[in-house]
Amino acid sequence: MKILLFRKAMLLGGLSLCLSVSAQKVHNPIIWADVPDMSMIRVGDTYYMSSTTMHMNPGTPIMKSKNLIDWEMASYAYETLGSLDAYEMENGQNAYGGGTWASSLRYHNGIFYVSTFSNNSRKNYLFSTKDPEKTPWEVKTYEPMVHDHSLFFDEDGKVYIISCGGNVGIREMKDDLTGIKENQTNKIIIENADAITGKERMLPAEGAQMFKENGKYYLFLITWPKNSMRTVLVYRSDNIMGPYEGRVALEDKGVAQGGFIDTPDGKWYGYFFRDYGAVGRVPYLVPMKWENGWPVFGENGIVPDFLDVDAKQPVVPGIVASDEFSRKTGERDLPLVWQWNHNPDNKYWSVKQRPGYLRLTTFRLNKSFIDAKNTLTQRTFGPECSGEIAMDVSKMKDGDFAGIGLLQQQYGIVGVKMENGKKFIFAGNAQNSNRENENYEELATIPFNGKTAWFKVEADYKNRADTGYFYYSMDGKNWKPIGKPLKMSYMLSHFMGYRFALFNYATKKTGGYVDYDYFRIGNSISLLSEKI
């Protein structure tokens, strides 16, 4: 009955949200969440987008939309990349900030392709499927690794990989797409691509995305001039091998890296991301027009805050969702909104051992939250959000820690720990952590004798507040703050926005488990007078 009532409330609440949002104008960012390095295509009347999720698995998410604004999950290109120590968090290694980076999504002759690479394995990965929602992706791997490359199918049947790290290079692929053609050198088609800014660079041009329109080749790049901001460069040519002419296409708000896309009714947009503090890198849509064969973005070069797009923009992005952990026959064990931190061990989690609950069982000893396996995550989102859980802790063992956290290098966690045979509600954070030093500090402990505990984390991203808050409850209704606010910071060591994270790890004995009754997302934060 509890679940049915909650779902009914969510349906009614969701309907009222949609009705209220439809009366408002669509705004940038189009998704106030971490969706960086987008690559986008349109197939008929449906748009598809790939993005980067680094060390999370499954990885390279594929999203879909009918209007460029309201996106939902379609699939992932892979479940895992293999079992390297870094992916498994074994022998002191991890893949934080690694995994796979920028991808290139393409559609050719009825087949979808996603090409990407990994700095951990030093390999390229080419995934393909006829249907990204119903058919598993097949994979081909090859070397050498090509950084931030663009996959491009030309009209003459040739297939290329274009890359950039200051200089732009091009290689032709084998006919069967199993790798680069034998004896292929990296032909440089543009030297020192960022020189057209006329400024000293802080980072070289990268993030290549190649397109062909009206008989011309267009290459998008991102650069970062010193004492400036992320900047969009566009080069064009009548021949894929050049010569190319280029220009600065957009330099506003640091919005950059992406490409352009058209709508069925002939409108054009640029799609890029913007660094937005602790929430991550968020996608922007920028109106575009053609002038003398060049794409021109924005309103007099300014990225607009509001867009004239006929769409309902959801308050809660469609790429996150609450979960009651109840499954019908034929449903996925975990909806696509969920990703594991690194490779999971599937023997030690279940939504079937106790129907209606997610069970996380410990199976190895860990030093801390950041070192734990089988931590389950979703994106946080702005301008405000919350994640709430109810958790049965009756089967924990001595030395276990379980609960919910805000995951990044400088993390915060709240939950239950078991110490010397006694349970405690606790909160702690790693406020001053870096890659070399975790600096975790336990901030509060409260004796606990119950079976079920309720916890909530909140993230405030309004005006770049980037602050996390932590709460506990003994009944799921009356909430009390615990610990202290977390000043959230986007750290390059993790290279992604903060995540909600459900965790259970052991420090002394294995085999203990907790059962999560639910995970519920909210789009506002509380205004408790006692908030620390």
pLDDT-derived band at 532 (thresholds 50, 70, 90) equals low
Contact call for residues 413 and 366 (beta carbons, < 8 A): no
pLDDT of 10 > 60? The answer is no
Model pLDDT, residue 1: 41
pLDDT of 11 > 70? The answer is no
The backbone region for 410, taken as left when phi is positive above 0, alpha when psi lies in -120 to 50, beta otherwise, is: beta
Q: What is the mean pLDDT of the chain?
A: 94
Spell out where 37-110 has E strands: 39-43, 46-50, 56-57, 59-65, 72-78, 104-108
Condensed to tens digits (0 to 9), the pLDDT of residues 97-135 reads: 999 999 999 999 999 999 999 999 999 999 999 999 999
Q: What is the mean pLDDT of residues 413-417?
A: 98
Q: Which of 243, 153, 150 is nearest to 205 (CA)?
A: 150
Q: What is the mean pLDDT of residues 46-54?
A: 98
pLDDT of 16 > 90? The answer is no
Contact call for residues 328 and 7 (beta carbons, < 8 A): no
Condensed to tens digits (0 to 9), the pLDDT of residues 314-364 reads: 999 999 999 999 999 999 999 999 999 999 999 999 999 999 999 999 999
Give the C-alpha distances (Å, rounded to integers) separating 79 from 45, 362, 405: 28, 21, 23
Could you give the percent of the chain with pLDDT greater than 90?
Answer: 92
Model pLDDT, residue 297: 98
Model pLDDT, residue 435: 87
Model pLDDT, residue 9: 41
Condensed to tens digits (0 to 9), the pLDDT of residues 157-195 reads: 999 999 999 999 999 999 999 999 998 889 999 999 999
Task: For residue 162, give the amino acid letter.
Answer: I
Q: Which residues contact 220 (CB under 8 A, 6 or more apart)?
A: 207, 208, 209, 210, 211, 232, 233, 234, 249, 257, 258, 259, 260
> Per the structure block, which two tokens stand in for 484?
């202290």
pLDDT-derived band at 531 (thresholds 50, 70, 90) equals low
pLDDT of 295 > 50? The answer is yes
pLDDT of 437 > 80? The answer is yes
Condensed to tens digits (0 to 9), the pLDDT of residues 367-395 reads: 999 999 999 999 999 999 999 999 999 99
d(CA 69, CA 259): 16
pLDDT of 18 > 60? The answer is no
pLDDT-derived band at 25 (thresholds 50, 70, 90) equals confident
3-state DSSP helix/strand/coil % of the chain, to nearest 5:
10, 45, 45
pLDDT of 15 > 80? The answer is no
Contact call for residues 98 and 89 (beta carbons, < 8 A): no
d(CA 460, CA 498): 11
The DSSP call for residue 23 is T
- Enter the pTM of the model: 0.94
Q: Which residues contact 9 (CB under 8 A, 6 or more apart)?
A: none
Q: What is the mean pLDDT of residues 472-481?
A: 96
pLDDT-derived band at 436 (thresholds 50, 70, 90) equals confident
Model pLDDT, residue 366: 96
Q: Minimum mean pLDDT among 12-21, 138-147, 418-427: which range?
A: 12-21
Number of C-beta neighbours around residue 195 at 10 A: 14
Task: For residue 245, give the amino acid letter.
Answer: E
